[in-house]
Every structure is written in C-alpha cells, then in structure tokens.
Structure 1
Amino acid sequence: MSQIPVKDVTPEKEVVSLYAEREHIYVKFYRGIFKNLRIISSALMLVAFYGASWLQYDGRQAIHFDLPGRQFHIFGQTFWPQDFMLLSWLLIILAFTLFFVTVFAGRLWCGYACPQFVWTWFFMWAERIAEGDRNARMKRDKQPMSAEKFMRKAAKHTIWIIIAVTTSVAFMGYFTPIRELIPNILVLDLGPWESWWLAFFAVATYGNAGWLREQVCIYMCPYARFQSVMFDQDTLIISYDEKRGESRGSRKRDADYKAEGLGDCIDCGHCVQVCPVGIDIRDGLQYECVACGACVDACDDIMERMGYEKGLVRYTTEHELEGRKTHLIRPRLVGYLVALLAMVSAFSYVLLTRTPLEVDTIRGRGELYTTASNGDIRNTYSVKIANKSQQDMTYTISFEGLEYAELVGATEVRVEAGELYDHTIFIQVDPRALERPNYEIEFEVTAVNDESISATSESRFIGPTP
C-alpha cells in the first residue's frame, strides 16, 4: 500500500514592523473638472476664513470670541456661558450633517472642504511654484545641495512661513479684534498669551500642512477610521472599474488592444502620481482615500488622449459597479435626514425666540425677613440682570404674586451692553395682608424701549406666621 504524501504547509515566519517608514509623496500637477471644483470650494473657504474677521456689524467686529469677557459676539447676537447648550446643539447638528453627507456622498468633506486638506493643497501649490512639478522636485531632491536648490528650498519655506503666519493672525483675529491685533503686532505690543498662541498656530499650520500633510488624514484624524462603518453599497465612492480596465498594459494609441487581451487601463500610473495620499485607487476602496477626485481627473485626461470612453476611474457606487440599481433613498439616510431636520428646526426656534436678557433673583440670606420702622414686613432681593445685547438698555422691574405689597428701591435701572448688573431691591407689605407665611412671587424685568424684551425669575416672600 502506497503512503499518502505529506507536505509541510506551515507558513514561513515573517517579521512585521509596527512602524512604517514614511515615503515622501511627490504629487504631480494636473488639470480637470474636479480640481476646478476643489479650487472653487477651497477659495471660498480661504476667503471666508481670512475675511470674516474684518466684517463689521453695528459698529463692532461681526464675529468676536471674547474669552476674557466670556462672551461670543456673532452678527449682533451675544452668547454667554449660560448659552453653552446652544453650542452643544450646534456641534451635534454638525456631527449629524457629517454623518448624512458621509452616508450619501462618502468623504467629499475631506476632499473639498476639510481645513487640513485645503491648507495642504495651498502649501503644495506654493511648493510647485517654488520648486517645479513632480519630476523636477524628485530629480532635485536626489542631487547634492547647490545654490539653485538652496534658493528654491528657501523660497518654498518662506512662502510656507508667510501662509502659516497669516493663517495664525487671521485665526487670532477672531479672539482679539483684528483691527487691534495687527497694529499691536507691527509695534511688538503683544501680551504673553497672544504671543504664545500666535506662535503656536503658526507652527501648527506650518507643520500640519507643510510636513505632516497626508499623515494627519491617515493616522491622526478619527474620521478616517470610523467613516467606513457609515458606508453602504449605495454610498458615493471613487472606484476603478476593474471589469473594464483589466488586464492592464501599455499600447499604442491606435492599437487593437482588445485583440491582445488588454483592458482600457494603459498602466500609466498617473492616477497614483496625482494622489495626495499616495494610494493606488486600482487596489480597491481604501480608508486613506479622501475622495478628492484627483485620480478621476488624471484618468479621464489619459482616456481622452487615447480616444477611450471616460470614467474608468470615477465617482460611483458598489451597486453601480455590479450592474445593479443605486438607491438614493434608504433607511439609514432617511433616519439621519429626519434627525438632522428635527434638530435644525428646534435649534432655529430656540435661536430665533431667544431673548437678549437674562434675569436671576437671589433672596437675601441673612434673615428670613425684617420689620420696617412702620411695622411692615420686608424681604431683600438681589436681582441679577444680564444684558446680552450689544446696546445699553434701560429696564423696569416689577413683580406679582403678593397683593398689597410694593417694591422699595429703584425700579428702573440702566445696564450697559454685555454687563451683568446686580441690583438690590426690597418687597414690603403690611403684615395684616399676609394670609400665610410663604408666598411664591415672580419678578419681571422689561426693556423700556422694547416690551418684547422681557424675562422673569421666580422667588419667595417669607413673613411671620399670621
């Protein structure tokens, strides 16, 4: 009886390093419709970022985050720490917006609107201006240092530093009024904290957009890690049409490549050379892909030159690649949309009905009550009035809940814009009018020139037992 042959199939041991050395990415210059769209979206973001701090509204900076004063001023609206709930709502709304966009259109946010990538493209543009296109940079980096190489490197880093510093100044201009900040910088009249944050944001911008670049997107950004769980087979992605493109191979423009068993992909590598994160889209969907469309533009350009149909690499869905119908309306997308609309509606209602006035009343804690010289029972109250508007206001103070009682003290007060005013006032009543020792009362503070601006605060009046 012959023996069954035995074969050792134990896999060979392979040492895998947890640290992958970074390979420098030389991005090739290209043109295309998606690049133009990205230029437009990036330009709008840059103009908004650099220009919004210069806008004036009602005689003051339109957007000013006054951290020392604990106030945010946004187009005539002043937000205080008590309005922190609105900020929480806004962050939740932005998160659900990102979820909705991701389920529907993949990582379009990353490729067209993420600040990290907008500034990275900005820095890469400066790099190309100073050092030339991809091949020139690669060739020059392999050469020893020369006068030309030094001058080009110096020019690049000078432009980077200028962009980083202007970015830092523009960002700080939202916290220190920009019209005060720039003159103070020019005469070197800055406080230690302003100097620190200006330097920090300049270095952070220079490092993130100039040096780290795609490393932030691949390793540091949490969105890159969890966005894939929100994808489904109907989510818009960038993909290579493997059925149409394989087998790959070079050929002449007019050659009958199909007779040679080749697909439409000529294996030119342009889709890899233009990718800002250095991936090969032909390897399939990868979490590093930021959906910027660079590979789509590059491939379409090659297809046009070869006389082939465009779209070998394109924005598509998994269902479309499989020849199935793409479903625009699906449960998870509808769920995100409904939740988003509900939150936006509630947030808008609260914001539009928000009163630029807040009142809090603290009853005097020294004694339950005092007796006036005429025998009346008196309670002391501290009425705290927060004027959240950007104008000085005059308010009247009234109360209800205790008959035959009167306010003693100034019932009309003037509060400056953004001020928290503490006003002491008394309620006094004849003891014979008291039917019980404890009454719920309500103070009302109303603007003199606009009765729609009004706020109330509850308190108690305490007297002797009848």
Structure 2
Amino acid sequence: MNQIPVKDVTPASKKEKESYDLYAKREHIYVKFYKGIFKNFRIISGAMMLVMFYTFSWIQWDGRQAVLFDLPNRQFHVFGMTFWPQDFMLLSWLLIILAFTLFFVTVFAGRLWCGYACPQFVWTWLFIWAERVAEGDRNQRMKLDKSPWSGTKARKKALKHLLWVFIAVTSAIAFVGYFSPIRELVGNVATWNLGPWETWWIGFIAVATYANAGWLREQVCIYMCPYARFQSVMFDQDTLIISYDESRGERRGKRSKKIDYKAEGLGDCIDCGACVHVCPVGIDIRDGLQYECVACGACVDACDDIMNRMGYEPGLVRYTTEHQLDGNKTHLLRPRLIGYFVVLIAMCIAFGYTIFTRVPLEVDILRDRGQLYNETSNGKIENVYQLKLANKEQIDHRYKISISGIDGLELINNPVVTIKSGELLDYPIRVHVDPNQLERANYNITFTVQALDDESILVVEENRFIGPAPRR
C-alpha cells in the first residue's frame, strides 16, 4: 500500500519546548516582585475577601454572632436571618446561581475568578508576600536556595515558615469561628481549652492551608482543580483572554534602545523573560493560551512596564480576544453570553424574592390515613390531622390556628399554641362538621396559622376533609 509522505516541519526550538517528561520533577517557581494596574485590582479584591473572611465572624447582630453555622442546633445564622435544615433548597439554589455566575464571567472574560477571587490564589499570593518579606525578591531567593546552609539562611527560612504557620493557624481559627462562636473559640485557644473537634479542625485546616498555599501552590490549580480542565469548553473567539500579540512581538531579540529594531527585522518583544518571572504558575504566555493560566494579569503588568521603559506602545501582552488578534471585530453581545445573563438575572430575582418574603414559620399538615373519617357520639363527622409547626425565629411566638372551607367546620382542640424559638411542635387536632353540611364525599379545607404578636407571620395550607358518600 502506498503511503502519503509526511514531512516534519516543526522548528527545532519548538521541538525542544514540546519534548518533556510527563513525570518530570516539579521545578520551584520564584515569582518576581512587580507593580501594575492588574496587580492593584488583585490586591483590592484579595484584601476585600480577607477582610470579610477574618471579620464577619466578629460582627454581633441582635446579641449574637452575625454569621454562625450552628451545626449542633441545626441553625444557620446569616446576619438577621436564621435558616434551618428545611431551608436546604435555598442553599441548592444559591450554589446554582454561583455556578451560572462563574459560567457567565468565564464566557465573558475567561478565568477572572481564578486570578482575582479564588481562595487558593488569594492565600498563595499572601504566602508569596511572606516569602519575599523573609527571603527577599526572586534573585535573592534563588541565590539563597542554592547557597549552603548557614546561620543567615536558617534564620531567613525559619522566619518564612513562622509567617506561613501564623497565617495558616489564624486562617484555621477564623474558619472554625464560623461554626463555633469565635469569641469563645479564641479564648479557648489562648487557654489551651479546646474540645476534640475544634482541635481537629483547626489542625486540619491549618495544615491544609500551609501545604496548599505554601508548598503545592500552582500544583493545586493544575492537577486538583477541575475548573482548569473544563474552562476551555466555555471559551469562544470573543472571550477576553490574556494573549501575546505574536504578529507584533516576533521576531524576538535583545536590542539597544538606540538602534532601529524594525530595520533589523525585530519585533517589540525583547525576550527579557519578565512575563515568565512574574507568572505564579510558571508558564510562558508567548507559547499561547494554556490551561495552567489563571488570568491574574501579572504578565500584562510586567510586559507593559518593559514596553514603557523601551519607549514602545504597551499591550504586547494584554487582555484581548482571538477575533481581535486576527484583525476582526469582537462581538461582546452574543447569544450564549446573553442567555447566561438572562437566566442569571431571573434566578437572582427569584432567589431574592424568596429570601425577603420568606416566612419564619414552617407548617406541614398530615391527615390521619388510618381511617377515612370517624363518626362521633353526637353524629358529627370527624377527621384527624397532625400539624408539624416549626418556629424558625430567635424568639418565642404564640400562634392561632383557624380552619375554613365548609360551613359549620369546628376545630375541637385549643386553637392557640405557644412554640419556643427553634422548636418543632407536633400538634394533633380534630376537626368536626355536621354531616348535613356535606354534599359530597370530600372537600378542600384551609388551615391558617397566624402569629398573634406579628401579623406578618402567616401561613396558609390546604388539605382534604373526607366524609361519607352522600345518599341518593
């Protein structure tokens, strides 16, 4: 059989880059200090997350911790609202809304979540800052690691790890403080009076933070986070991504500012490696879009700084789209993006309406299925119901139960009940009616439960009343 001749036209330099060992030992990434607008954005977003994380548990609301997930009592306090296991559906909807928000942002501007808000990278940048404080900038850290052990090296390494441990432990205490009252927790930590579960979770989270942000860093994003694997499915040619303008930057090469580099056949890229030195995942953005890229904008800031120093136009590495790089028009409004936006807005409106119109009273009515109806000694028709009433507020309430739907319908039990805060009350009731009022075998009747001290707490539920079949 004749075979079609194949010729390998891959440049030798490209072959060398693409030839690698799948099981190669990880190379430590030394991130260089830099300045820039996208770094400022990341610092602001990261600082906001850290401030919220460390302070929200300390805020008091109506005499209690504003944000507290009280698992033993199955109460979840979020500022002025208290949620119960019965409200689990709200959590499901919240997670769906967050997922659609992530999809919308990814379609519009790539992995902004990873670069500016992901906790893994917020803490990673915090640990890199501590590393730079203790050991110096990139070149100093590289030199320190290559040097033999000495008193100076041991002191710098010890300071770095002490800072890491301090950040990890305080982060663990802050996290556990959302599940155990933070003021008591900090006091127990100070007096070494922690319970077994608090000790376990503080230790576990501290070790996980220390390992993930201090040692693993980009390995978590590359090998453990699923988002890096499926994000490209949501990209299109109009998605804003960080890209290197190859048509403008090639051919790369070092040069003097005094020469006419265009006449020498050189592009704007001076091959300084600044974009690689500041990358927290250690990639070269000039090789094209890679799934390791977390869209933090570090390479953009570093390249723009070099371009300004050389007197060139910034934007050699920038947020752009494939269409724009190819010289075509970028379409910001496109069907998929609009679809995500419309669905997201609709879900947010529905979720907000549900939250703000939520009644802090749960009412479930179960009709006794053991028998269809009873006939009392005085000839009345009786149905028995089991009411499950849950007071989901932080104060006790008195509730009045009323029924309607059939003329002469009577509630035999005491119509007023008192339910304590957080209590679930099983309340059996009997309902009577004169058989002369029944024209058919079953009716829809309405149960109304109204808080006597708060008119806004009102729940209306329907059920069935079963009687004898009418005589013909």
The normalised TM-score by structure 1 is: 0.92
Query: Per-residue displacement from partner, 1:79-105 (whole Å, max 9, x unpaired)?
Result: 222222222211111111111111111
Q: Does 1:303 align with 2:307?
A: yes
Aligned position for 1:3: none
The residue aligned with 2:267 is: 263
Q: 1:108–1:465: structure 2 CA closer, same or farther, 3 Å change rule?
A: closer
Q: 1:367 to 1:303 in 2, by over 3 A?
A: same
Do residues 141 (structure 1) and 145 (structure 2) align? Answer: yes
Does the residue aligned with 2:350 lie in a helix, a strand or coil?
helix
- Map residues 203-218 of structure 1 onto 2, 5 A cutoff: 203-218=207-222
Task: Write out per-residue CA displacement over residues 188-227 of structure 1, whole angstroms, 9 at most, x where no aligned residue.
Answer: 3333222222211111111111111001111111111111
Is 1:58 aligned to 2:73, yes or no? no
Gaps of 5+ in 2: 10-17
Maintained 8 Å contact 1:77/1:390: no
- Tell me the equivalent position of 1:396: 400
Q: For 1:418-449, what per-residue CA distance to the aligned partner results, in whole angstroms no more than 9, with x for missing partners?
A: 22122233223445555555444322101112
- Looking at structure 2, the residues matched to 352 and 173 of structure 1 have their Cα atoms a distance apart, in angstroms, of 27
Q: Which residue of 1 aligns with 2:12?
A: none
Over 3 Å counting, the alpha-carbon distance change for 1:229 and 1:363 in structure 2 is: closer
| Letter of the structure 1 residue corresponding to residue 126 of structure 2 | F
Residue matched to 2:13: none
2:284 aligned to which of 248, 258, 280: 280
Q: What pairs up with 1:223-262 in 2 under 5 angstroms? A: 223-262=227-266
Measured in 1, the distance between the counterparts of 2:260 and 2:347 equals: 58
Other structure's SS at 1:391 match: coil
Give the one of 455, 459, 466 matched to 1:455.
459
Q: How does 1:150-189 map to 2 (within 5 A)?
A: 150-189=154-193
The C-alpha deviation readout for 1:371-427, integer Å capped at 9, x for no partner, is 656554544332211112233222111111233232222211222222212223322
* Structure 2 residue aligned with 1:314: 318
**SS of residue paired to 2:58:** coil
Partner amino acid, structure 1, of 2:197: W
Aligned to 2:46: 42
- Equivalent-residue separation in structure 2 for 1:339 and 1:345 (angstroms): 10
Change (3 A) 1:418 1:321: same
Matches within 5 A, 1:355-394: 355-364=359-368, 369=373, 376-394=380-398
For residues 351 and 202 of structure 1, the distance between their equivalents in structure 2, rounded to whole angstroms, comes to 34
For the residues of structure 2 that align with 1:424 and 1:451, how far apart are their CA atoms? 24
Q: Could you say what secondary structure the match of 1:53 adopts?
A: helix
Structure 1 stretches of 5 or more lacking a match? 1-6
d(CA) in 1 for partners of 2:280 and 2:289?
16
Shift of 1:135: 0.8
Would you say the 8 A contact 2:385–2:429 is kept in 1?
Answer: yes
Q: Which residue of 2 aligns with 1:127?
A: 131
- Percent of counterpart pairs with the same letter? 70
* More moved, 260-269 vs 363-372: 363-372
Contact 2:403–2:409 (CA under 8 A) maintained in structure 1: no
Contact conserved, 1:377 with 1:431, CA < 8 A, in 2? yes
Q: Alignment RMSD, CA only?
A: 2.4
The aligned residue for residue 412 of structure 2 is: 408
Q: Give the letter aligned to residue 117 of structure 2.
A: A
Q: CA distance change for structure 1 residues 226 and 157 in 2, over 3 Å: closer, same or farther?
A: same
Say if 1:438 and 1:461, in contact at 8 Å, map to a contact too.
yes
Mapped partners of 1:213, 1:18: distance in 2: 19
TM-score, normalising length: structure 2 = 0.91
- 2:254 and 2:433 map into 1 onto residues whose CA distance is 99
- How far did residue 110 of structure 1 move? 0.9
